[in-house]
Each structure stands twice: as structure tokens, then as C-alpha cells.
Amino acid sequence: MTATIPNLSTQYDPKTTETKWQKYWEENEIFKANPNHSGEPFCVVIPPPNVTGSLHMGHAFEEALIDTIVRYQRMKGRNTLWLPGTDHASIAVQTVLERQLKETGKTRFDIGRDAFLERAWQWKEQSGGTIVNQLRRLGVSVDWTRERFTMDEGLSHAVRTAFVQLYENGLIYRGNYLVNWCPASQSAVSDLEVDSKEVDGNLWHFRYPLTDGSGFIEVATTRPETMLGDTAVAVNPNDDRYKHLIGKTLTLPIMGREIPIIADELVDPSFGTGCVKVTPAHDPNDFEMGKRHNLPFINIMNKDGTLNENAGEFVGQDRFDARKNVVKRLETDGVLVKVENYRHTIPYSERGKVPVEPLLSTQWFVKIAPLSQKALTCLDDANSPRFVPERWTKVYRDWLVKLKDWCISRQLWWGHQIPAWYVKSETNGEITDNTPFIVAYSETEAIHKAKQQYGENIQLEQDPDVLDTWFSSGLWPFSTMGWPENTKDLETYYPTTTLVTGFDIIFFWVARMTMMAGYFTNQMPFKDVYIHGLVRDENGKKMSKTANNGVDPLVLIDQYGTDALRYTLIREIVGAGQDVSLQLNRLLYRIKNDPSEITKLTKKEKEELIKPLLPISDSIPLLGRIKNKPSEWEKLSDAEQEELIKIFSENLTLSESVEASRNFANKLWNASRFVMMNLDGNTPQELGYPNVDDLELCDRWILSRFSQVVQQTQQYLDVYGLGEAAKGLYEFIWNDFCDWYIELVKTRLWQKETTSRVVAQQTLAYVLEGILKLLHPFMPHITEEIWHTLTQKTDAVLALQAYPSIDVEKIDLNLEKTFDLLFGTIRTLRNLRAEAEIKPGVSVNVILQTESELEREILNAGKSYINDIVKVESLTITPQLQEEIKQAIAGVIGTVQALIPLSGIVDISVLRTKLEKNLSKLEGEIKGISDRLNNPNFVGKAPEEVVQKTREALAEAQKQAEILRERLKRLE
């Protein structure tokens, strides 16, 4: 026995506890991986958040999922590595920096590349540090000593190696092709960086006259400005309306250029007039037609979205201004036929937030087919990687099949500069589409190669473009392990075990990684891909910046603690891959997130915010002052506004679901505190496991329930059933352990130096420590704190303890059924006492009647539990009632009838009046519901589910009324 009894503080403070353990874990490198350790490797690489970002609810959800999985596997004895890092986010960072420069009246070209990159690295240190520190607040068990950044030296080396190898093997090429162009960022973007949006637009019809003067052809388009670059009009070869015109020429309005009428099966005869203008330099379909028919490619657009010299009189005009002016000119020239309203889909740049332009541009591309084929082969032959839920396998496969060559060059400065050097001396010091280039690992190597091919007098310039961010992200699972070097980490932890990510980046990232890994490592980069859902708001809508319904998780963490938020997000999952809902008082969140918002509330919002507090407003002067005078809000000082926000925070619920998890944490804390106060300062190890022969009925029951929950939790976690595992633990800890077992053993703990007391202590300590281990992956901070106090260990952490092992021999389902009956009986008797308003200190006589011999045996075995908890003076268990019991209150548990005689305990007349009043109310409800169901209009017109719920409500009301009549009868 120790000299002092260690105990927890009277109240759980998540902020203090969580800060303490986050610091301890990191400073002591608790989660540092060691490839030389024993155990089967288990590795996860973090989906790297952008350095421009800040923690949002999607991050919190994803990291909570990953951390639960990783902590579980670590406690299962796996040699675990969770590798953290961030992504350089080329377009996002560049957009931020160029916006900052614009505010000073400058562009990146004014300050030069070196100065711009210096600013970018400063931004990275500031913003990247923010997101990393926010991740730390989530308590993630990553190995911070291995933190990576997609532009650190090691990963940059991997990127250069990958590019050179792909190029030398003929899988990277440079060419003039049509790409998605973002005028806002003035860069090419991939198909995956384009969002399709439905918009209300127009369909313009105008006439192209035949050159021979014999008539005209009518065409329709949603982008009339592009007609300036038309080089043909196409019809379907099988369209009888136009067969006779194929091969003739037209005169292009405004431009006066002679263009041919061509036949192409791509043309849909049912669209518009069946004639389509062909602009090969500004439309993907027209691009393909242009190649098939050897048409000229005329680019009319500059990279900033203005029109160039090929647009004639419209040169220099913005594309949308030019659209209006072209239509006006066509109308003036008499060739505009009509304008129709037309709802259609247009592509928007995800980052630039503007419509993209298909633009003819010289870019670098990766040949996708050889890479995607390898990934497809692994999927089809070995189901690798395995998707959870399985339904995403088809989505992933379909995407691999449809992939086109990947444009990997971006006209940006922040990112991995393309390792290609142009030999400008071969094209008069200029870089053109025909300038030869050298692909090399370094400038030194490029110079050496160039001199060998072009002589000593050469002039080189590195390609100014950078690689698409997803190029480096595609290498992430193995570049972070040291590839292309054959490191110990790569040998031990690759391929990684599990990727946890959202379905929205299966195409952006997952497919990129599988294709790159298949090519460079000849295997898939991870065994499992666990696809999670979205976090939705209190109205079921997807959280997003554009919808203005996002939530900063740090606000909820400050209010309730990290563990509570993590547990809420996981417990809300109803199946692998399903969305989760987060309840939130939006008004309270708004003013807590930004206190200045309190001055911007509308009158209605103020009334809504203060309404729940009206009952206590008279006791709080500040509330009393403003409750009926909204104008008083405007007169509040800054200090009073802060006080008001504090009042709201303390008296209103910010999130019901997260508060429920905080209450769960408090329940565990208080139960643990009670247990430790009754262990006489002994640890579970000092107490030891109880002798099996000394176990009492409730001890065997809780050990059976504990063994079963260990089995169920592991079964769920092994198949990514995190939500189901969290719910099971909640039910066991709150109900079985806290509400029942602790109550059942209290009288034994009050005994002195008895075997029964020691066994109760041993069982409590054993199960509590097991609970802490089971719950640790979900709520790591509170469990670590309680475990240290319980075990009094100073040289170990719970995070590295073994997860409880499954012991099926302790599971006794028959015993559990026994306790189901006992608990049902106790619950019913408690409810009867409450309904009869029997005072807590008053002992009662109880009669339990059942014809079942087995049930009587169970009730007799649990007599002491019934007596202790219900406060029973005399308990009779009988197969038959000898006589009808009058003036008693009765209830039923299955086939057991429970009665409490009331004579001499309560005022029967008062109780009868109360029951009669309740019955009268119920009968009124029954009449109302019956009238509704007897109304043909309701039954015939209301939705079936509404009618069914109404029938169920009637049946329930009738049942309750019958119970009340029976109770009134017994009071006669």
C-alpha cells in the first residue's frame, strides 16, 4: 500500500490535461518509429494539408479517424509509423502572394523570381507552422521527427529523379496541345482542377454566308467571341440537309476569311441547327476535328483572358467584353438570327474561381496509359489496393480507364521548377516551340550534356514553369521514406498499410499515387484505402467556405476539449464511408468565433439568442438590461460585450453532440475518481486479478461484458468500423460499468477487510484499466491522465501499452441475460417508486410474481442487488399471488409482475388524483388521434409514413392508458 492515495482532481479540465500530454508525447518522442523494432510494420502517411490552410472540420475528422486507427495498431504491437507533412500548394500560395503584391501596386515580374520565392518561403514558414501547430492540438500520434514538406530537399530530389526517369523512358513529352487555361492564375490546370458549374447563359444563332453567294448556313454557339478563330463549319456526313454543301466554303463574318464546310461524325445533328462552328485552338472537340481535317489552328486569346492580334478590331478586349461587342457587330452586320436563354455547364478553375479557357499552349505531358495500365492490372489481378467501402473500387477503376495524358506544367514560380534547360543559343537567344532542350538532374549535368551535343558556345535557360503539385504528391508514400535511395524506412514501412482520405480526391491524389508507385516501385503504395464521408452541418448540408457554414474545430476544442470533439466525429459514423452530422448553435458559434459579430446581429437573431435565457435573465443584470430593449445592445462597451459572450457560452449549448461527448468524458473521470478513492491507494498491479472462486455474481457479469466488448471493439476496428466500436464502448462504459457495476458493489466497498471487498476492488481496478486501454485510441488525453493516476507509473505511457486481449472463456451470455432481467426489474421498481412519489429514504416492500422457475431463480440470485439499489425492506418472489393486492402500484418486466404495496407509505388519494388526471389527458390524446385516423382525407392524402406513425402513436397511447387504468384499479 502506498503512503498516499493518488486521486484525480474533482473536475476534469480538458485544456490542462490535453496540453500536458501533447507536450509530453512530443518532447519524449513517444511516437518515434524505429524500423529495427519488432512487430509487423503498420504505416500511414498523412494526407498532406496545404501550407496555406488552417484547420477545418474536414481535417479534424480525417485526423481523428487516422489517429484512432494508428493508436489501435500501435497498442496491438505493430511497428507503427504515422508520417506527417504538408504540401506546398503551388497555385494557392502563388494566388495569395500575388494578391499581396497587387495591393502594393506590383506584380511578381516587378520583383523578380528570386525575391518572389523568398516571399513564398517566408509565407510557408508562417502559414505552414500554423496548420502544423493546429494539427498538434488534435493530439495526433505522428512521428514529428520525420515531418516532411513536398519541397524539402529530399522530396525535391525525388521529384527530379521521377521526372528524368519518365522522360528518358519516353513517358514525358513536350508539345503544343489544347489545355485548360486559368486566366486568373495564368497557368494551365489539369482536368481534375476544374469544377463544372451549371449557369444560365445564352445560345446565339448567326449566319455564315456561302462564298458562292448561293445562301448561308446557320450555326449556334454559347461563346460567340471564339468565332473570330473559326477555321471551318462541320456537319454530320449522314445529315441529308447538308450533304450537298460538304466541300463548299463560307465567308467568316467580321473576319472575311474563307473557311470550308467539312463532314465529321462527331457532329450531333439534333443540336442546334446541326451545323457547328469549328475553332480548333479553343475547344477540345474542335481540336480533335482540326487534327483529323488538317485545319489551321488560330489562337485569338492572350494568357490573361484578353484577345490578341488575331482577333482583329477586338484586340486587347477582355474575353467577356469582346463577347458583347462581337454579338453587337454581328447584329449590325445583319447576320445575328436570334438569342435563346440556355442553361448549360461551364468549367471553372478550382483555384482561380473563373471560367477556364481551352487554350492552345506548349506544355509538358505525361503519357498516362502505361501508368494507369499498371494500376489497373494490380486492381484486377490482386484487388490492390482494397477500397473500404468496396463501392469505391468501381469509381476508381472507371477513372483509371478514362484518364487522358496528364498536363504537368504550370506557369507559376512557386513549386518544383521543371528540370529541363533550353539551348537558347540554337534559336537566336529566344525560347520558342522549336528550341531544343536538355532534361537533367542538375544544371551542371545539363551544361555537360548540351556541350556534348551543341558545342562549347552554348546558352542555357531553365524552363521557368513548375510541375503540377499533384506530381510531387503522387510520390508522397515513397518519397517521404527516402526514395530513390534504398533507405531502411523504405525497406521497412513501404508499401504503407492504410490510406485514409475523402472520396473527393480519389482522382486527384489516390490514382496519382497508385500510378506513380506502380511505375517506380512496381507495387501499390498502400494495402487499404479507407474512404471517409463528409462532415455535414446541423441542417445536413456539406460544410464549405462557399456555403459559409464551415466550422473552426478549435472553437469547439476550446469549449469542450479535443477528446470530446474527436469522439463525437467518430461516434457519429453510422457505417464506413458515411457522412457525419455535427449539431451546432450557429449564432453562438458565430460570436465565439468572432466576438465582433455580436454587434452585427439582427433584431431577430438577438431575440433568438436570448430567448432560452429569459428564465434566468432577472438574476443576471446584463441580460435583464438587454432582454426587452434590443437598442441597449448597441450601447454595450467592449468589456460588456465580452461579458455577454461569456454568459451565452456558459448558459447555452454550443453543440449538443460534442457536449454529450464532454459529458461522457466527465462521467468516465468521476467514475474513475470514485474507483481510485476506494482502492486504498493500491494500483491494479498491486491488487492483482481476483481469485475466480471468490468472484460474486455481478463480478462475473461485468467480466463477461468486458470480455465481450473487447472482442466486439477489436472486430469492429479490424474492419474500419470505428463508429460502431465507439458506440459499443460508450454503452459499456456509461451503462454497464458506471451506472450498474459501480452501484452494485458500493455496499461491498463500505465493508471492512472482507474478501468480498477485496474482490470488488480487484475487479473494479482490472476493468477500469481495461476500459482506459480500449478507449485510448478514441480519447487519448483523458485516458492517459487517468491511467497514470490509476497505475502510478512514471516510466511508461498508456499509448504504448498492449491493447486488451480477447478472452472468450470469460464470456457468459446466459449470465448476461440473467442480469438483463435483474436490471429490468430494478429499473421498473425505481420507476414505480418515482411515479408513486415515494421518498428516497423510505424502504418499501416488493412482490415479484412469475410462473417461470428460471426467472424466480434469477431473481432470488440477485436479491441482494434489488434490495440494495431499490431500498427494499422485504422482497417476496412467488409463482402465484395468494390474493389480489390492493392499494399497490404495479409494473411488468416481460413475464414478471412487480408490485409495491403503498398503504402507509404514500397518500393514496393524492396518488389516485394524479393518475386520474394523467389518464384523462391520455384519453383526450387518444380521441384526437382516433379522429384523425377516422378522417378519410387524412388517411387518403397524408404520406404513408405519417399515417403509420400516427397509428403507432395511437397504439402507444392506448397501452399507456391501459396501464393507468390497471394502476387505478389496484388503488381501490
Which helix (H) or strand (E) segment holds residue 363: the answer is: strand 357-366
* Structure confidence by residue, pLDDT tens digits, 497-523: 999 998 877 877 999 999 999 999 999
112 pLDDT tier (thresholds 50, 70, 90): very high
Task: Let me know if 918 is exposed, middle or buried by CB neighbors in 10 A (0-12, 13-18, 19+).
Answer: middle
Query: Three cell numbers at 969?
Result: 384499479
* Structure confidence by residue, pLDDT tens digits, 136-147: 999 999 999 999
- Per the prediction, the chain carries an average pLDDT of 91
Distance CA 403, CA 292 (A): 21
Cβ neighbours of residue 438 closer than 8 Å, sequence gap 6 or more: 420, 421, 423, 446, 449, 450, 453, 460
Which residue is associated with the grid cell 510494420? 41
For residue 335, pLDDT over 70 is answered with yes
547 pLDDT tier (thresholds 50, 70, 90): low
Which residue is associated with the grid cell 504550370? 410
* Structure confidence by residue, pLDDT tens digits, 709-720: 999 999 999 999
488 pLDDT tier (thresholds 50, 70, 90): very high
913 pLDDT tier (thresholds 50, 70, 90): confident
Distance CA 547, CA 193 (A): 20
Contact predicate 545/538, CB 8 Å: no
For residue 127, pLDDT over 90 is answered with no
**For the chain, the helix, strand and coil percentages under 3-state DSSP, each to the nearest 5:** 50, 15, 30
How much of the chain exceeds pLDDT 70, in percent? 99
Q: What are residue 29's phi and psi, to 5 degrees?
A: 50, 45
User: In this structure, are strands 249-251 and 258-263 parallel, antiparallel, or unpaired?
Assistant: antiparallel
| DSSP codes joined into one string, 144-178 | GGG-EETTSHHHHHHHHHHHHHHHHTT-EEEEEEE
For residue 730, pLDDT over 60 is answered with yes
Cis peptide bond N-terminal to 47, omega within 30: no
* Structure confidence by residue, pLDDT tens digits, 449-483: 999 999 998 999 999 999 999 999 999 999 999 99
Over range 191-216, report the average pLDDT. 85
Residue 172: per-residue pLDDT: 97
Q: How close are the terminal C-alpha atoms of the chain, in Å?
A: 60
Residue 546: per-residue pLDDT: 58
113 pLDDT tier (thresholds 50, 70, 90): very high
For residue 829, pLDDT over 60 is answered with yes
3-state secondary structure 595-606: HHHHHCCCHHHH
| DSSP codes joined into one string, 853-875 | HHHHHHHHHTHHHHHHHHTEEEE
Contact predicate 5/666, CB 8 Å: no
* Structure confidence by residue, pLDDT tens digits, 368-401: 999 999 999 999 999 999 999 999 999 999 999 9
Residue 887: per-residue pLDDT: 83
For residue 3, pLDDT over 60 is answered with no
Give the strand order in the sheet containing 386-388. 386-388, 526-532, 496-502
Residue 438: per-residue pLDDT: 96
* Range name among 100-104, 247-251, 534-538, 848-852 with the lowest pLDDT average: 534-538
For residue 635, pLDDT over 90 is answered with no
1 pLDDT tier (thresholds 50, 70, 90): very low
